[in-house]
């Protein structure tokens, strides 16, 4: 994995703290920024966190494209806690 993938976006801490405050179990990763298990759920959801002007790296683009093309799966890209909650179906 490229070293730049380990850098965290500035807004990630607020999103993680907000999700945990609402009872979610959150794991911070490197391939995908967050794995989130909402309360009373049995399914993990991956989330990619970006800042307002952030973009996916070439590695992330390739991963997202592979998941779309081969598994019809989309990893939500979120910039705010509200976007994360929407992606998780919590609002």
Give the model confidence (pLDDT) of 16-52 as tens digits: 999 999 999 999 998 899 999 999 999 999 999 999 9
Residue 7 DSSP symbol = P
**Domains of the chain from N-terminus onward:** 3-87 (3.40.1350.10)
pLDDT the model gives residue 7: 73
Confidence of residue 1 (pLDDT cuts 50, 70, 90): very low
Mean residue pLDDT across the chain = 92
Residue 5 DSSP symbol = G
For residues 2 and 54, which has the higher predicted lDDT (pLDDT)?
54
Among 46, 49, 44, 38, smallest CA distance to 13 is for 49
Among 34, 30, 5, smallest CA distance to 20 is for 34
CB atoms within 10 A of CB 36: 24
What is the share, in percent, of the chain residues with pLDDT greater than 70? 93
């Amino acid at each position: 994995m490229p070293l730049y993938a380990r850098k965290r976006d500035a807004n990630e801490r607020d999103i993680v703290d907000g999700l945990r405050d609402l009872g979610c179990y959150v794991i911070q990763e490197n391939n995908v920024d967050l794995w989130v298990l909402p309360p009373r759920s049995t399914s993990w959801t991956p989330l990619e966190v970006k800042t307002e002007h952030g973009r996916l790296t070439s590695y992330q683009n390739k991963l997202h494209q592979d998941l779309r093309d081969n598994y019809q799966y989309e990893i939500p890209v979120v910039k705010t806690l509200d976007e994360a909650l929407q992606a998780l179906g919590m609002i």
